[in-house]
Structure 1
Amino acid sequence: MPITETAGAVERPRFVSGSLLRHVCVMAGTGAIGLIAVFAVDLINLFYISLLGEKETAAAVGFAGVVGFFHASLCIGLTIGIAAVVSRTVGAGRAMDARRIATSSLVLMTAASVVVGSGTAFFLHPALHVLGAEGETARLAQRYLAVTVHTLPLLGLGMACSALLRSIGDARRSMTVTLAAAFVTAVLDPILIFGFGLGLDGAAISAVVSRFVLAGIGLHGVMVKHRMLGRLDASQMARDARALASVAGPAVLTNLATPVGAAFVTHAIAQFGPSAVAGAATIDRLSPVAFGLVYALSGAVGPILAQNLGAGQYRRVQEGLRDSLLFMVASVAVAWLVLALGQGVLIRAFSAEGQAAELIALFCSWLAASFFFSGGLFVANASFNNLGHPLLSTFFNWGRATLGTIPFAWWGSHHGAAGVLIGQAVGSSIFGLLAVVVAFRLAAKLAQQEPSMKAPAPVLDAPVAPTSAHGDAAALATPQPVAVTGPAASAGAP
């Protein structure tokens, strides 16, 4: 809903009343469509590249995807801070502060993504070598990334705008931002790759155009439709940055853990040849599309928990965590069934043979079940961030990416490429289960702080006292009167 003030009144936040399960379903459902669209861009690229019948080219897309995964994880981590602080500010009825922070967040996202994206261009060759890319595969991957890394700011802006739209409950428009970008890719890929005969270069150009569309539509929704942006206040930029960083800092570290683990797995699989790398690349792009609802939960749950936390409705925070996990279990069960039944179609669609086909079949038949635990980790991360314990997200994600991946994948590598994926699934499941247990304990502790006969929360469509033109960004990062430890800021993440 728009962050608007009418006659000195602030509209009531959307998530502080009504069915929590319905909020979860709507936000996750619409978020999944948009998120699937983002990941579908990579899947579509890989699909068309696989039609060329060149294993080296398909493997190059896989190696490039690992580098792109680092970039996307950085942007996702920053959007977690954006969604958390803005959602909680809206929940507290501080529309003026929310606008200013939204503006600061876009400036900070652009600056960070420019430095990281263009900076990566200087290290492409050594980075790909560390991942295990050699010869023609390494050359193709480097050529693809040389085009796409410089457009990371466009990706970051689009994702930040989508997060801002989610923070005010406009799930449909947030979905449209990413859906449009995926549509552009689906149309341009066959034209550029096959029509103009550009091959991998055509896929890179298509990715760049889709990022322009992503940023353009996102900015239109934020600036024109909802007028969410306020005046850029340079004197408050440092405070806003600290408020966002209290969540985004741990969240970035949390999200970077996943590509670190993925990089080790890619390196371990590379020793088994291009076919194995191509198979793993297909799984990496297939899983977020198949489990889009699960990936979307982390971003969907964040604003719901944050608004209720900002409004002081702590029992609804606990109920939101429970309903999110129920939704996750049902989503994984359906996706696993579809993958198991459709694995033959997928193998033929991606022209997979040999080891690639074996790995895809293994994932669809058995390894997909590990998402019951990975999904629990996603939901737990959103809970940690919104309960003022973002460092717990960092701990569990890095634990999964290191202790839950490296020794298990190393052990599995002694039994072939399939063993690497099996080891990774077992290790990540252990950390996912532990994270869920801790999340429920924290939510229960928080719920105890809300008296059973609590006075009704104030209705936010009544006039509120005006805030300072500058506001206090540091105060926005700490919901009152909840007593929490660690950085007090939050929202969920993939």
Structure 2
Amino acid sequence: MQGSILRHVIIMAGTGAVGLMALFVVDLLNYYYISHLHDPSLTAAIAFATSLNYVQNSVALGLSIGLGAATGRLIGARRHARARKIASAFLCLMVTVTLVLGVTTAVLAHPLLVLLGARGEALAQATRFMHMTSPTLTLVCLGMALSSMLRAVGAAGQAMRVTLSGAFCTALMDPLLIFGLHLGLEGAAISTILARLVMALSGFLNLRSHDLLEWPSRRFLPVAARIVGAIALPAIATNLATPCGNLFVMHAMARFGLNAVSGQAVIDRLMPVAFAFVFALTGSVGPIMAQNLGAGLIGRVREAFLCTLKLTALCVCIAWLVFFLCQNLILVQFQVQGAGIGLVRLFCDWVVASYMFVGLLFVSNTAFNNLGRPLFSTAFNWGRATLGTIPFVSIGAAYGPKGVMLGQALGVVLVGSAAMLTALGVINSLARHPEKWRGSSSPASSRRTGQEGKI
């Protein structure tokens, strides 16, 4: 718990951003290649389908967060054998749950897409895409979970290779299948399936040297469900909020035609790639806050929080400049047409600034999770998805697709600001009332925490 907080945050976030960017690039490449088929129904179809996939992936992410955290705690307590048994048993449970979820979503794909606003050829194409990709949810969940286990044992480089392998597969297979074999959206679906398979295989290959897998024991299934589920279920609840809110936005945008849906889809895919560093900040600053809290260094907890906010602001300013200068290039490269042109220009000119408040929300949620207030994180995420989205988007829809975008941006400005002020209040409360957190940590445990890593 020494040295520059800013330096620690930048180094940890930088390595994490590469892996996150690789995951987001898979969707971006799929959309990019499909857009060059010059068929608005296909670009709208992949936009509708991936909106549902994001909900599924949030479940997979929550499960992987729980598995990684539980494994890391056991390894940190020098209980490697138990970590192996728990991890192996939970992987078995995870495969079962995600297989059921994936198949169920595939069966219900058509009515779900109708509720989302898909119609005509876009509905038919999106349904076909979901029928092909949804049953393979288990593969992407395995890739995430195994990568999370690698991070738990400190193998950050190997964890990054797992996610990069999927992106490389997509970059190679998309043009071959979509253009070379003329498979269109089906080619994008096959490429997605192959990328998921490559990620899962890469995860197993990279993890085998760490002795964390064995044939699962039936006796450990309920134990694994209890230990990992205690972490995974709240993580799933929190992660589901954002894609559920985005479903409402997509439904509102669908009223204005396929071009509006396609324009929104371009923005939705560029944003995670552009702000991968900001999203990685939320994962990197958490351990820094937690260890400094354990050592009683509340001043460094506050410093870590404020440093992360400053880095978020810097990233948003840089992204705003890039999007403003490159908006014509984006319109041409992604074949944006009709109402989508106005949406992309509005976003590049002004609305991109609202992601500063998205960053405030994410950083604040990380503070809540690591400072003993996890329910605050869930509340603010769902607050953004409901009170921060539905009324603002509903009112904005009366003014067209631009109104939908502006309504969503205004909602996140209010929620993100409230989350930041609340997080600062939590940190100040810990400083004023140290007995609230010192009671659960003995001096000995604080000394052990200090010995485990200097952050």
The answer to whether the superposition gives a TM-score over 0.5 is yes
How do residues 79-478 of structure 1 correspond to structure 2 at under 5 angstroms?
79-224=64-209, 226-229=210-213, 232-305=216-289, 315=298, 317-446=301-430, 448-449=434-435, 457-458=447-448
- Partner SS for 1:457: helix
Partner of 1:472: none
The unaligned stretches of length 5 or more in structure 2 are: none
- Equivalents in 2 of 1:384, 1:460: separation in Å? 21
Change (3 A) 1:128 1:190: same
**TM-score, normalised by the number of residues in structure 2:** 0.90
- Partner Cα separation in structure 1 for residue 215 and residue 286 of structure 2: 26
Note closer, same or farther for the CA distance 1:231–1:194 as it changes in structure 2 (3 Å cut): closer
CA distance in 2, matches of 1:347, 1:294: 24
Q: Which deviates the most, 26-35 or 152-161? A: 26-35
Q: CA deviation at 1:307?
A: 5.6
Distance 1:368 1:111 in 2: 39
**What's the CA shift for 1:352?**
1.0
| 1:25 Cα offset (Å) | 1.8
Q: Residue 460 and residue 271 in structure 1: after superposition, are their counterparts in 2 closer, same or farther (change >3 A)? A: closer
User: SS of 2:108's equivalent?
Assistant: helix
1:27 equivalent to 2:12? Answer yes
Q: SS of the residue aligned with 2:447?
A: coil
Note the aligned Cα RMSD (angstroms): 2.5
- Conserved? CA contact 1:91–1:308, under 8 Å: no
Residue 55 (structure 2) pairs with residue 70 (structure 1): yes
The 2-side partners of 1:312 and 1:243 are apart by 26
CA–CA separation in structure 2 for the residues paired with 1:410 and 1:123: 26
Task: Give yes or no for contact 2:45–2:122 (8 Å, CA) kept in 1.
Answer: yes
Map of 2:42 onto structure 1: 57
Closer/same/farther in 2, CA of residues 307 and 40 from structure 1, 3 Å limit: same
Segments of 5+ residues of structure 1 without an aligned counterpart are 1-15, 463-494
TM-score by length of 1: 0.84
Separation in 2, partners of 1:153, 1:306? 32
Equivalents in 1 of 2:364, 2:150: separation in Å? 23
3-state SS of 2:256 partner: coil
Residues 135 and 379 of structure 1: is their aligned pair in 2 closer, same or farther, counting only changes over 3 Å? same
Give CA deviations for 1:304-358 in whole Å, capped at 9, x if unaligned.
445666x655635544433332322222222222111111111110011221111
The alignment status of 1:45 with 2:30, answered yes or no, reads yes
Deviations 1:259-313 (A, max 9, x none): 111111111111100000000111111110111111222333344445666x655
Name the SS of the counterpart of 1:82 in structure 2.
helix
Deviation, 1:22, is 3.0
Give the whole-Å Cα distance in 2 for the aligned partners of 1:304 and 1:177.
24
* Cα pair 1:377 1:433 within 8 Å, conserved: yes
Distance between the aligned counterparts of 2:84 and 2:343, measured in 1? 48
Residue 94 of structure 1, CA deviation: 4.5
Conserved in 1, the CA contact under 8 Å of 2:392 and 2:407?
yes
* Contact map agreement 1:88 1:306 (CA 8 A) in 2: no
Instruction: Confirm or deny: 8 A CA contact 1:247 1:390 kept in the other structure.
Output: no
The verdict on how the C-alpha distance between 1:437 and 1:89 changes in structure 2, with shifts beyond 3 A counting, is farther
Report the AA paired with residue 151 of structure 1. Answer: T
- Cα distance in 1 for partners of 2:223, 2:421 equals 34
Compare relative contact order (CA 8 Å, sep 6+) and give the higher one, 1 or 2.
1
Deviation of the 1:168 alpha carbon: 3.5
